[in-house]
Structures are given as structure tokens and as C-alpha cells.
Structure 1
Amino acid sequence: MIEHIHLKIVQTVDQHGSLTAAAKELCVTQSALSHAVRKLEQNLGTDIWLREGRSLRPTQAGKYLLHIANRVLPLLDHAESKLKQIAQGERGTLRIGMECHPCYQWLLKVVSPFLDAWPDVDVDVKQKFQFGGVGALLDYEIDLLVTPDPFYKSGLCFNPVFDYEQVLVVPKHHALTTLQYAQAEDLRDQTLLTYPVSTDRLDIYTQFLNPAGVVPKRHKTSETTDIMLQMVANNRGVAALPRWLAEEYCAKLPLAVVRLGKEGIAKQIYLGTRENDHNIEYLSAFIELARNYKHPPEANRSSGS
């Protein structure tokens, strides 16, 4: 029979590379750990690792068991945490994963009234899931995923919460501000500033530049919106952001927004959840609050700040 400790051993050996290191991490003797492994291998009728000197290489069975451990252990940890919270009279923690860099400012404005309405629920934002959140959601590492690009998969549902337009942000007196809208060709001689995301996940590439076969003169990345737009304001490049966020910064910095293409680039923000979590009251309440939050209205003008 495969037990919790067996999965923990397999995962810890994979993380630390040897039985000796795993035993130290799990606070057991190496002999006790080796005995547990031998007994498991006997019960399964197959080896879990091939021993190569001091290192261990997982067999096919070991790789499969590691996959199970990585899926099951977070779920068990989550269940244990939830049960402890219930026993202590607490509702729990809403763990939010981000797949949308500029949405962090929007999220802060939704979290504040949520915390006021649900004083017995904490919020934890997991930024390390910025660009791989579906797996984290399926593995119970997060409870809610903020994303502009829903990935429909069995067991998950995605709720649209608001529409927005992706626009080009340029210095206030940039030549592009005289146009009704920018064309892809207009960015050929520009430095494009983006978040550190692969280009196949950036709308400015997938929906604007790539279809026209245009590559900007330079492509630089920035981790933070503030630094990115300070760079733009100081004529170091242009950037693509949601109009509502861009116009917030236009009120503080010498910036302007320009529509991307004649029709613009229309997007939506979605909140992804697990289907079997639909009965969690505070989770449903957060989604409803996000839907009703009145973010700054997006102007219809094509340029200007």
C-alpha cells in the first residue's frame, strides 16, 4: 500500500538528490529511510530508483510515483490546512495566482473591499504562478487564477469579469500621438518595452506585430509597471498596456495612449477556479465582487493623455 510518507520520500529525494539529504530533510535516519524504500519496492514488485554511485535516477515506476506525489501532496496539505481552519472556526485563505502582470493594480482594488466584507478570510497572492497558473490551479496550489487567456480544461471554469482594450503607451509628445491609430509598421523603428513574458503570450506580438510580419527595433523587458512607464516617459521606448491602467499613469506622467490598429485590441480578464469549489462562499463572493467592481471607464479616444 502506498502511504503519504512514501510519496513524501519520493518527492524529497527528487528535490535533494540522495537518500542522505532526504533523510536529513525529513528528520529521520538514513537507515530508516532506506528500510521504508526497500519495503515499498518489495510491495510494488519493482525498483523506484537506479543507483548510480551516490546519486539516484528514477525508474519508469519512480517517475510515475513522483508525478503522483507532486499532484497528491499539495491536495493533502490543502485539505489538512482547511480542516485545521475549520476546527479553529476560521474560513480559510483565498490563494490567488497571477497570470497578468498589469492586473496586480486592479487586484488590489478588489482585495480591499473583499477583506472588509470577509474578516475571517485571508488573501495570499502567488506571483510565482504568473505564467503557468493552470497547473497550479489543478494541483490545488492556488484557488483562483487571474488571467487574460483562459485555458479551458476539464475540472476548471473561467468567469469573465471585465473587458478592456490593449493600447500603446508612448511619450506625451511622440509622433504617434498625431495618428488616429498605430499600425504595426509604426513600431518597426521603436524600442518595445514589455513584461518578461515569452512573445507568444504577449498580445502586442500575437495580435498586432506577428500578423503583419513586423519586428520592433529592440525589445526590452521590465518586471514592474512603474519602471516600465518611467522609461517610456523618458523616451526610452513604448509599451502596450490595458487602457484603464495606461490612463491612470497618464495622469501622473507625461504619457499618451494610442489605439493599436483601426479596431483596437479587445481583451477580457477571467477568474479561473476549480469546478468542485463552486460551493465555497467566499470564493464565489470574490468573483461577484470582481464582476461588480467599477474599474476606471475606458475612453473611446484614439490618442492623447
Structure 2
Amino acid sequence: MDILERSHLTIIREVAREGSLTAAGLRLNLTQPALSHAIRKIENQLDIKIWQRKGRSLVLTQAGEWLLSLANRMLPQFELAENRLRQFANGERGSLRIGMECHPCYQWLLKVVSPYLERWPKVDVDVRQKFQFGGIGALFSNEIDILVTPDPLYKPGLKFTPVFDYELVLVVGPNHPLRNKKFIFPEELASEILITYPVAPERLDIYTQFLQPAGIGPRQQKQIETTDIMLLMVSHGRGVAALPRWLVEEFALRFEIYPVKLGKKGIAKKIFLGCRDSDDDIQYLRDFIEFAASSSLEI
């Protein structure tokens, strides 16, 4: 007995559905003689009688009825799978896993993801923050599809697209003595409690680009996970923080906080979206990057 094929199930379903070889042949793009030959070939291949003649009609045997039930269950699954694969190939459906190496960027990401979901209703979006081997490792290991980072690491097989510029500033409360200064020097933070996200100092720009080059450290570093709590603490004089200016201006509507420039020139940064070169032909991924870049013009 040979292996049951999908084409066998298709013929069984169409003959049963149409009720005649002529009508079934039209649906299958086969002439009646060709369909009759195909039916005999199926029975010979499977070594079992599937139809029996009753007058001028073909009637399914018990084995044929079971195969018809199987065809009605399996063929829609094949058709659904093929349709989904076409959608994947055309970039209409898929999964977009976004990795974050930029804590403040969650506020920006909300503004990008919301309209993106409207544009791509069949793409599942997932946001991930913690990676076993870091963001670059997560890209290479296919744990994520896009990495949001202010510090791109250019390696073969990856590409990074800048999506927006921002200035890193010091954030202080209403009664802080640094509030009205045009800019500050690193040594002015030596007596401060510096509130940061739970990230190692070597990955924080306030350390690598401002404090460490001057050989300065804060009196204390306090780590807080959420932006809201961080800024609540700053507004009540419990410490200072370093955040993007656009984020400070946005949260100033809720908290009494003030931005202060870090150094005479300030600290200019960019946010990049990284992805694998091999994914460049995925339309919904490419569209997210293009949409993110255009949306960021408003920040």
C-alpha cells in the first residue's frame, strides 16, 4: 500500500461535494476521463476500494466515507497553512519581538507601537527587556527581531538605523540648588544621590560620558525600575537623575521637575533600531523601522 497523498483527499472531497465526475472535474481542472483515471489510480495505489457504482452514480464505501471525513478535517488545515505562509512571504503576518536596551524609550515606543498595530493587525508585537547574553546576542540568537539601543555595536550580519536624536540632561526638583544653572560640571554631582535605572554604571552615559572622564562619582547611586517613581523621588528632592530632555519635558506636566544641561556642550545621543541583515526583506519589520523614524520627528 502506498502513502496517502493530499491530492487523493482533494479528489475524494470534490467528487463527494459535487456529486458527479463532470462537475468535480471542472473544479479540479480535469476532464472526466482524466478524473476517472485518477480515481482508479488512487484505489490501486491505496489497494482499497473507495467508491462503488450504483447505477450511474459513484457512492463511497466505508473506507471512502472515512477518507472523506479525514479530507474535510485535513484539507482546510492545509489551505489555512498555505494562506498563512503566503502572508508570511508577503510580510502581511508574523511576529515582531522588540528588545529594549533603553529604559526611557518605553514612552517613545508606546507612541510608535499603537499606530503600528492599527496598520499591521495580523502582526504580533512583543516587547522584551532582559536577555541572557545582551541585546546583540539576542539578535544573533533570534530571541528578538529589533533592538532599541542608544549604543549600537556594529557587527557583520547586523545593521542599525538611527531613528531620533536627543539630549541627555540632569533632572532636578523645584528646590534643588542646581535648578537655575545653565549647565553643570561633573564635580557638582559628587555630593548627590544619583537615581538610575537598574543598569551597570559602565552602560550609563551619565557615568561614561560625564562623571568617569572627570574621575568623579556621585555620593550614592540608587536604582529604580520605573520612570514614574524615579521622577516622583526627584521632584521631592530625594535625588537627581539623568534622562532625555524630551522625556523630562513630557513628564513635567505631571511632576515638578527641571532639566539642566550636562557640561557646556551638553551630551547628544541617538536612538538606533538594530536588526539582522537577513530580515531586510520582511515588509512588516522594515515598515516598523521606517514608521519609527518618521514618528520620531515629533519628539
Normalised to the residue count of structure 2, the TM-score between the two structures is: 0.69
1:247 matched to 2:246? The reply is: no
CA displacement at 1:127 relative to structure 2: 1.7
Question: Which residue of 2 is the match for residue 173 of structure 1?
Answer: 175
Cα distance change, pair 290–87 in 1 and its aligned pair in 2 (3 A): closer
8 Å contact from structure 1 (residues 244, 296) kept in 2: no
Q: From 150, 153, 157, give the equivalent of 2:152.
A: 150
Cα distance change, pair 84–187 in 1 and its aligned pair in 2 (3 A): farther
Instruction: For 2:97 and 2:294, locate their aligned partners in 1 and report how far apart those are by CA, in whole Å.
Output: 20
Question: Which residue of 2 is the match for residue 107 of structure 1?
Answer: 109
Please give the per-residue CA displacement for 1:163-197, whole angstroms capped at 9, x wherever unaligned. Answer: 00000000023111221101101101100000111
* 1:152-301 aligned within 5 A: 152-294=154-296, 297=299
8 Å contact from structure 1 (residues 191, 216) kept in 2: yes
Q: Residue type matched to 1:219 in 2?
A: Q
Instruction: For 2:175 and 2:236, locate their aligned partners in 1 and report how far apart those are by CA, in whole Å.
Output: 11
Unaligned runs of 5+ in 2: 1-80
Please give the per-residue CA displacement for 1:68-100, whole angstroms capped at 9, x wherever unaligned. Answer: xxxxxxxxxxxxxx9995278761110100111
Q: Residue type matched to 2:128 in 1?
A: K
Q: Residue type matched to 2:275 in 1?
A: T
Instruction: For 1:182 and 1:268, locate their aligned partners in 2 and report how far apart those are by CA, in whole Å.
Output: 22
**3-state SS, counterpart of residue 184 of structure 2:** coil
Q: Residue type matched to 1:119 in 2?
A: P
1:93 matched to 2:95? The reply is: yes
Instruction: For 1:231 and 1:126, locate their aligned partners in 2 and report how far apart those are by CA, in whole Å.
Output: 26
Question: Which residue of 1 is the match for residue 5 of structure 2?
Answer: none
Unaligned runs of 5+ in 1: 1-81, 298-305
Please give the per-residue CA displacement for 1:112-141, whole angstroms capped at 9, x wherever unaligned. Answer: 111111111110111223981100100111
8 Å contact from structure 1 (residues 85, 92) kept in 2: no
Instruction: For 1:110 and 1:181, locate their aligned partners in 2 and report how far apart those are by CA, in whole Å.
Output: 32
Please give the per-residue CA displacement for 1:2-26, whole angstroms capped at 9, x wherever unaligned. Answer: xxxxxxxxxxxxxxxxxxxxxxxxx
Q: Residue type matched to 1:272 in 2?
A: G
Cα distance change, pair 258–289 in 1 and its aligned pair in 2 (3 A): same
**3-state SS, counterpart of residue 177 of structure 1:** coil
Please give the per-residue CA displacement for 1:229-275, whole angstroms capped at 9, x wherever unaligned. Answer: 11111111000000000111112111111000000000000000000
Equivalent residues, number:
216
Instruction: For 1:139 and 1:200, locate their aligned partners in 2 and report how far apart those are by CA, in whole Å.
Output: 24
Q: Residue type matched to 1:161 in 2?
A: V
8 Å contact from structure 2 (residues 164, 296) kept in 1: no
Q: Which has the larger radius of gyration?
A: 2
RMSD: 2.0
> Kindly, what percent of the aligned residue pairs are identical?
60
Which stretches of structure 1, 4 residues or longer, exceed 6 Å deviation after superposition? 87-90
Cα distance change, pair 131–290 in 1 and its aligned pair in 2 (3 A): farther
